Amino acid sequence: MACGEAVHAGWGAGSSGAPQAAASAASGRASGAASRRGMRACYGAVLRRSPHDREILALALPALGALAAEPLYLLVDTAIVGHLGTPQLAALALAATVLSSLVSLCIFLTYGTTARVSRLHGAGRDEDAGRLASQALWLALAVGATLAALVAALAQPLIALLGGEGDVAALAARYLRIASLGVPMALIALAGQGWLRGVGDLRTPLVIVVAANAANVVLEVLFVLVLGWGLDGSAWGTVIAQAGMGVAFVALMLRAPSDRRRPDLERIRSLVSIGAQLLVRTAALLGCFVLATAVCAHIGAPSLAAHQIGFQLFTFLALVLDAIAIAGQVIVGRALGAGDADAAYAAARRMIEWALGAGVLIGVILLALIDVIPRAFTGDPAVIDRARAMWPLFCALWPLAAIVFALDGILIGAGDTRWLAGAMVAAAAVFVPLALLALELEWGIVGVWSALLALMAARLATLAPRFLGRRWALVGAAT
């Protein structure tokens, strides 16, 4: 789920004086004690041995590597383009926002394919799973070609919608038109990852994604810094790397066991059905995060900067929880496909324990570093003050988010996407009025992050009863 711009700032200066030093020392001791207590609590359940642990780790670790490759590439990409000048960097930020938002909305190609294929694979129907590989490929190609044409045709209005003006807007629109050529292959890669995850192969996608991102960096250095193609070079490097990645996934998907590779409307329709429900869920979630950023922008620059620090940390650290959720999709779907609802439920409970342990640990460490992390991003006292104000809420969000992420993966693996879509819309209905009240009643950034905490609580309140009721645990090759 992952999008946004990075915050660029320097290290802040520390305070001086005996009273401040004493307070800092006391705060450090208290934070250290809290950290130790939190670690013991979160590891209490996780350190108990479980027969599911080895498989969860075997799936989650390569998933984490593939998930981390993209943000790491974006950091390098930003650094390369940043040497061209501020207009080019600003243009990249606008164009990347459009492209990353589209890709995030199309994540249904991955999750929907995984949900269908893992059930078939668990049921031993590998040829049917192979047929879905071809249909997922056709669907990704159709959606990708349509989006590419729309992005190329509407590049200028899309950039203007984001507030782009003058030379920056012209550069961003040109970048979008070139980069749109790579959209079909990027979506094919999403579908390819979904199919490979469904059959339990998470190492191959890791190799392909890492190789593609490494090639992207090399091409951008060559085109931008050596050949001097400027921002166009960055766009062409991305397109070529995406083309190579797409070809690799196409080759693998066409090797899948299948007696029919032509478009099959019935099977495509099944993917579209689950994909539409996941699209609603993803769009509602992204909409909540966009609204939170917009409200902070209206509150003031210090609050917006502090919010960006928290949001970017959340986006990056949530990769750990995403990796566990992906393991949940695969294991639960396969167990249900094999007709073993009890095994699916037991594995799901264990994944929730792992996720909760990770969430508590992340929250405790972040709380202990309340006086350190914000200063790593900015030296502005006003931004640091706003960051401190929202930090306890930011840390409290993690245990809730951990359980919610795990439940997301479990229910996606079970194919219970209709419930997920409805639950996300209901949670958004809780968040939106609270976020707008934070602006109207001048609650500031604390009000915005309180609304985000309420969003996660509402999601948990709608997903946890569904999980405990086990109505999602429908066995068989299809939901």
Residue 51 has pLDDT above 80, yes or no: no
Give how far Cα 218 sits from Cα of 38, 80, 92, 224, Å. Answer: 42, 11, 18, 10
Average pLDDT on 72-89 reads 80
Q: How far apart are CA 419 and CA 104, in angstroms?
A: 20
Q: How far apart are CA 182 and CA 199, in angstroms?
A: 26
Average pLDDT on 113-123 reads 88
pLDDT score recorded for residue 48: 59
Question: Using N-to-C axis directions, what is the helix angle for 53-82 and 203-220, rounded to 10°?
Answer: 10
Half-sphere exposure of 409 (CA within 13 A, CB side): 38
Residue 479 has pLDDT above 80, yes or no: no
Residue 14 has pLDDT above 90, yes or no: no
pLDDT score recorded for residue 37: 54
Residue 4 has pLDDT above 60, yes or no: no
Q: How far apart are CA 386 and CA 365, in angstroms?
A: 19
Locus of tokens 């496909």? 337
If you write DSSP's letter for every residue of 382-426 in order, what string do you get?
HHHHHHHHHHHHHHHHHHHHHHHHHHHHHHHHTT-HHHHHHHHHH
Residue 179 has pLDDT above 80, yes or no: yes
Average pLDDT on 372-401 reads 91
pLDDT score recorded for residue 12: 30
Name, in order, each residue with C-beta under 8 angstroms of 73's C-beta and a sequence gap of 6 or more: 213, 216, 217
Residue 296 has pLDDT above 80, yes or no: yes
Q: Taking a C-beta distance cutoff of 8 angstroms, is the pair 334, 125 a contact?
A: no
Express as a percent the part of the chain with pLDDT over 90: 47
DSSP state, 260?
-
Residue 188 has pLDDT above 60, yes or no: yes
Return the ∠ at Cα 170 (arms to 168 and 174), rounded to 5°: 115
Q: How far apart are CA 123 and CA 405, in angstroms?
A: 26
pLDDT score recorded for residue 44: 53
Express as a percent the part of the chain with pLDDT over 70: 89
276 by Cβ neighbours in 10 Å (0-12 / 13-18 / 19+) ranks as: middle
